[in-house]
Amino acid sequence: MSIQQEKIKELVERRATARMGGGQKRIDAQHQKGKLTARERLSILLDEGSFEEFDMFVRHRCTNFGMEKTRFDGDGVVTGMGTIDGRLVYVSAQDFTVSGGSMSETMAQKICKVMDMAVRNGAPFIGLNDSGGARIQEGICSLAGYGEIFERNILASGVIPQISGIFGPCAGGAVYSPALTDFTIMIKDTSYMFLTGPGVVKTVTGEEVTQEELGGASIHATKSGVAHFAADSEEEGLQTIKDIFSFLPSNNKEEAPFAETSDPAGRADDSLNDIIPDNPNKAYDMYKVIGSIIDDGKFLEVHSSWAKNIIIGFARMNGRSVGIVANQPNFLAGVLDINASRKAARFVRFCDAFNIPLVTLVDVPGFLCGTQQEYGGIITNGAKLLYAYGEATVPKVTVTLRKSYGGAHITMSCKQLRGDINYAWPSANIAVMGAEGAVEILYSKEIKAIENPVAQAQAAEDRKKEYNDLFCNPYNAASYGYIDDVIEPRNTRFRVIRALEQLAGKKQENPWKKHDNLPL
């Protein structure tokens, strides 16, 4: 064997060793827990043969607590670049088989290197997390490493899409990087996110709680809203990441990719003409409206199990990506509460940052009132959504289906928040409030003064009719030009697509500022 051949053989062997991470025993343990290894995950995520790994031979430099005896090539993270559907992405996948994926100084350096490349080259960064948090033996060097990653997450925010997969127990610092990114996907039963695990919680607060109860995928997807998606398996979670990316541009200077569709832009749907119940207090399912107007009924819902009174997600209309925001009358009557406002606000801001037009479907009875909401700060939280719509400069097309009352009317992308095209169905009611409440405030004394109960009821009905005739229709708002047109429900898809096409060249800029002061 020539010297050159020997060197090549050594390279092949070194690579093979590095690919074994923390060794076969730990790989087996990972599989026994129902988890894939870092490299297995990347091979599912990326196009076949597209992965190029960087820093495979990096080793940690720590000598505390005998750490010099446990050095593995690549340390606890696999990093590099690859493609998804032919589009460049930068990736990191923490390797739990090496010190539980805990963050060392050198791991942080590897991750920062690919993050810097992603920003420089205008491609998304996808982080697959499976980590026990800061590597305890490295002390401040590990914390500093996290700090470097967080700073990059912050600076990359709004510049390139950042997506986090949670594929194992993520504790401490391991949860804050995902929280700074745009979307977090968790896996049911095998992934957890918490500041500290159940053991520490018991010591500090005395509370006894399981990993699942403290920070499982279901908890974060339904109660806290920390996770945007909860997948049934790692394969499904990785597919979700690819699905999200398919709707996004690679960076904030580009448009999302166009996807051919055979769904005709002019397709009308007669069923929409009958979807609004005669009784204004009766619900209907907003998913049916969304499914009817988007291409091929394909909707990627974000936060499907949290704050279900508002629906958000990605779809395409005549091949172009759009962000859909829609009140859901089927859940809490579609009211805007703290969580619904936070959920939609973040989504609106994401779409605005990445040039994705917003299509807003309105049927909202108002903001939720009461002590629980006031104490939780519905004023500040509701203002987030108001702010998000008001500052957004992407094309904004709004369709009011039924109720649109008070502050919630203004918030849901009204004309004065620079809504570009505002349509209403003939069933729309655009007013300060519904007839019931308005008559109570304006005429309760007058009505109570009527002694005859039949005449009293009739007077209340007459006042309601008077109010409804004046305000509870789309024509009053349309007479001021605040609604651009009243449209037949069956034509909604066609009208929204035509509006979006008209707005494709929209250019709007906000006044220069260092940054805004969103009501956090």
Give residues in contact with ligand HXC (CB under 6 A).
Answer: 26, 99-100, 102, 132-136, 143, 146, 169, 171-173, 176, 196-197, 200
304 alpha-carbon distance from chain centroid: 10
Q: Tell me which of 74, 173, 237, 434 is the catalytic residue.
A: 173
How far is it, in rounded angstroms, from Cα 145 to Cα 113?
Answer: 12
Query: Shortest distance, CB of residue 14 to ligand HXC, whole angstroms?
Result: 22
Which residues fall within 8 angstroms of residue 309, CB to CB, at 6 or more apart?
A: 327, 328, 331, 332, 333, 334, 335, 336, 337, 340
Query: Shortest distance, CB of residue 215 to ligand HXC, whole angstroms?
Result: 10
- Clarify whether 172 is annotated catalytic: yes
- Clarify whether 256 is annotated catalytic: no
Q: Tell me which of 158, 225, 407, 437 is the catalytic residue.
A: 407
Nearer to ligand HXC, 181 or 196 (CB): 196
Burial class of 331 by CB neighbour count within 10 A (0 to 12, 13 to 18, 19+): middle
Query: Shortest distance, CB of residue 118 to ligand HXC, whole angstroms?
Result: 22
3-class state of residue 408 by DSSP: helix
Closest of 370, 381, 484, 362 to residue 431, by C-alpha: 362
Query: Shortest distance, CB of residue 171 to ligand HXC, whole angstroms?
Result: 4
Q: Tell me which of 172, 197, 216, 382 is the catalytic residue.
A: 172
- What's the token pair of residue 455? 């005449």
In this structure, how many other beta carbons lie within 10 angstroms of the beta carbon of residue 449?
10
Query: Shortest distance, CB of residue 135 to ligand HXC, whole angstroms?
Result: 4
276 and 286 in contact (C-beta within 8 Å)?
Answer: no
What Cα–Cα distance (Å) separates residue 497 from each residue in 33, 254, 295, 319, 397? 47, 20, 10, 10, 9
Q: Tell me which of 408, 459, 477, 499 is the catalytic residue.
A: 408
Nearer to ligand HXC, 151 or 469 (CB): 151
Nearer to ligand HXC, 9 or 33 (CB): 33
Query: Shortest distance, CB of residue 100 to ligand HXC, whole angstroms?
Result: 2
How far is it, in rounded angstroms, from Cα 170 to Cα 196?
Answer: 9
DSSP conformation class of 47? P
Nearer to ligand HXC, 62 or 435 (CB): 62
Nearer to ligand HXC, 216 or 419 (CB): 216
98 and 71 in contact (C-beta within 8 Å)?
Answer: no
Helix (H) or strand (E) holding 510: none
Nearer to ligand HXC, 169 or 313 (CB): 169
* One-letter identity of residue 199: G
- What's the token pair of residue 334? 């579609």
Query: Shortest distance, CB of residue 176 to ligand HXC, whole angstroms?
Result: 5
Which residues fall within 8 angstroms of residue 162, CB to CB, at 6 or more apart?
A: 124, 125, 126, 127, 153, 156, 180, 181, 182, 183
Nearer to ligand HXC, 172 or 382 (CB): 172
Considering only CA atoms, give the Rg of the chain: 27
How far is it, in rounded angstroms, from Cα 364 to Cα 429?
Answer: 10
Which of the residues are catalytic? 172-173, 407-408
